[in-house]
Amino acid sequence: MKKTILITGATAGFGEAMARACAAEGHRIIITGRRKKRLDKLKSEIEISDNSGVFILPFDVRDQSAVNTAITSLPENWQNIDVLINNAGLARGKSFLEAGESADWNEMIDTNVKGLLYVTRAVIPFLKNSKAGHIINVGSIAGTEVYPGGNVYCASKHAVNALSKALRIELLKDAIRVSQIRPGLAETEFSVVRYHGDAEKAAQVYKGFEALIAEDIARVALFILNSPAHVCINDIEVTPTAQANAYLLNKSE
């Protein structure tokens, strides 16, 4: 069944790979993120290679009124959203709490927790109208584990884990499936953002082992999406083979 899928954070990393993978399967996609130029480019690339509909909806997930305005402004033929993929998110810094920056804490909590709440609340009415309503939240292994310097990022992803479980309870009567993907280390723009643009420091994170790539997570999202209607994949944790948990890596150097 072809679906209409809204993906947050589609300008890079997992979200972009998910958008390409969903479009390749013929789904209609609504792609969001703050960087509109990237959304324009992605739309034109997808439309050249696939015959799938793409709608661009730029907004900042931290701005509740922008979220509501964007979602309610969807043209009628794009309001039939079946699937929401809450993927937008970020880490900022990796300091011990006593040395942390409150601006970094606020940005992580505002994006990863409050942003997910704003988007989910705005989209639920559309999902309720669908016969195949489904929310897929991108959490993290940091949503069930904690590592040194991960404090607030881990707390924000623990919140995503709790909200995924809460939504599964609350949307049970509406037959809306709620799934969570919890990736380990994946080489995207994540670490460049975490280290405030320090590309060298970011590259060090992935040295000496084979990290996940965005397409690995897109494949997991498709597996969840393509499960039969009576099956809800609640939670999938996926790490590189070289990663046992949030702090144990088999690095070659």
Least Cβ distance, residue 245 to ligand 8X3 (angstroms): 9
Relative to beta strand 54-58, strand 28-33 is parallel
Amino acid at position 172, single letter? L
User: Considering only residues 168-197, where is the footprint of ligand 8X3 by CB under 6 A?
Assistant: 184-185
Q: Is 153 a catalytic residue?
A: yes
H/E element holding 180? strand 177-183
Q: Is 150 in the site for ligand 8X3 (CB under 6 A)?
A: yes
For ligand 8X3, give the closer residue by CB, 52 or 87.
87
- Min CB(88)–ligand NDP separation in Å: 4
Residues 6+ apart with CB under 8 A from 103: 92
Show Cβ contacts of residue 145 under 8 Å, excluding neighbours closer than 6 positions.
154, 245, 246, 247
The answer to the question of residue 140 lying near ligand 8X3 (CB under 6 A) is yes
Rounded (5°) CA angle 167-117-228: 40
Q: 23 is in the binding site of which of ligand NDP, ligand 8X3, none (Cβ under 5 to 8 A by kind)?
A: none
Residue 118: name its binding partner from ligand 8X3, ligand NDP, none (Cβ under 5 to 8 Å by kind): none
The partner in contact with residue 13, picked from ligand 8X3, ligand NDP, none with C-beta cut-offs of 5 to 8 angstroms by kind, is ligand NDP
Distance CA 192, CA 186 (A): 12
Q: Give the nearest distance from C-beta 111 to ligand NDP in angstroms.
A: 5
Q: Which of 118, 153, 195, 206 is catalytic?
A: 153
β-bridge pairing 4-7 and 83-86: parallel
Catalytic residues, which ones?
Answer: 153
